[in-house]
Chain A
């Protein structure tokens, strides 16, 4: 009847199961980029499983340029106070002090994100030093496993944020799926070289080869703008979807957000996806990734 732990003791926190577990609770759901508390409330009301606080949505980062950083702590606290769902917030790649601030503010997840301007072009944050969990972007399996080695509890494929063009998201999830399938088909003694080529630790490579999936939850991000985009990512095997500029840069954010949530749950039912896609008004204008000069491609940040 009673707990075996001392009732006066602080529970042991920060263990991996707790942090990878929160990502498992978000599966099948939609995480929405928000800049203000008002947008966070719209997202929760639409059925988001979490919100992601950032200074500017990626489409605005592209439009206005300049260095993009962690949000003002006041805005993050305002968002935490406004909603009952988990709050994530972005820190720059390698910016461990922004991460320390976000942990202090008690966000539920930190996104070490290529959408912001990198603070370190060589090293990522040593995420194992933190109690708060991290999600990190990846374009391929090796990159995902390197982030997990550094302590990430969740992975999102990068796509190309702020474009409304889903082709890069598709490319990255296809790449990761196909690299996992290759590992599965390898003989055990081939995995040593595979680990070398992936630039990832052998033990993790072996685990992926055995399980046929990443050891943590993987969402898809970057360019998802319509219910059909979200459903396609789920049919590709994503555990869930991040939507950034796609919602608050569209004509009717509340309706589009709710429609993307429904399409993510009923991802294999074209009747539902067709129904929720009706009358949503204008989608975000969008940019074709093929028209973007290479220096403006965010997915190439991170190593």
Chain B
């Protein structure tokens, strides 16, 4: 049976993830409220602005609700802003101070660590488990500065930093697999949700 996967639709690249997930064989729906998490095998937290998402999630307590479902076995895939929201620690968290995040991924991330949009770039990554390079688009991307849990598996690196990681039911990338037509990372997540 096709896994049911939600895309957090507060703001950001929602439609792009929906398209990639459908192509990977998932049943897809948007999530903007805690009740919409019921029955999901997985949730994608898309790229966008983590500050805006954290503020939109707060009044309905969506971040703690996602964490509860994660602890109950729902998988989570965070890309860019989603990585920031899933990380245990954000080293420059001033603009997120006082707002709940999902947490659970044993890494330290720094927001916009490459600099302004002029430093955004594309790369091709060797990813563990994929037999050929994966195109990757980095847009004002966060950097994983440090891996703090031994359970974190680094799947890919770029310029010396981890850029795709997995810890149990959490998959995260600092780039945007939803912006390229290569959906192998979405396929990997869809398979994780079907497990």
Contact = CB atoms under 8 A, between A and B. Distances in A.
B16 interface: yes
B158 interface: yes
Contact of A48 (B52, B117, B156): B52
B153 to A, nearest CB: 11
B116 A108 contact: yes
Nearest to B12: A25
Interface in A228-276: 258, 261-262, 264-266
Contacts of B123: 3-5, 11
- Size band of the B side of the interface? 35 or more
B179 A107 contact: no
Q: Is the interface of A mostly helix, strand, loop or mixed?
A: loop
Nearest to B114: A11
- Of A22, A46, A84, A86, most B-chain CB atoms within 10 Å: A84
A3 B52 CA distance: 31
Contacts of A19: 117, 120
B186 interface: no
B158 A3 contact: yes
B159 A7 contact: yes
B113 to A, nearest CB: 11
A106 B117 CA distance: 8
Interface in A133-164: 133
B94 interface: yes
Given A47-B55, A84-B95, A4 B126 contact: yes
Interface size class of A (residues with CB under 8 A): 35 or more
B179 A17 contact: yes
A22 B124 CA distance: 19
A240 to B, nearest CB: 8
Contacts of B11: 27-29, 49, 264-265
A85 B122 contact: no
B156 A1 contact: yes
Contacts of A12: 121-122
Given A24-B13, A132-B118, A133-B117, A7 B160 contact: yes
Given A27-B12, A103-B118, 7 more contacts: A13-B119, A18-B120, A21-B176, A25-B81, A47-B51, A264-B11, A266-B32
13 contacts: A2-B157, A4-B133, A14-B118, A22-B139, A25-B49, A29-B49, A44-B51, A47-B52, A50-B49, A83-B95, A108-B117, A132-B117, A132-B118
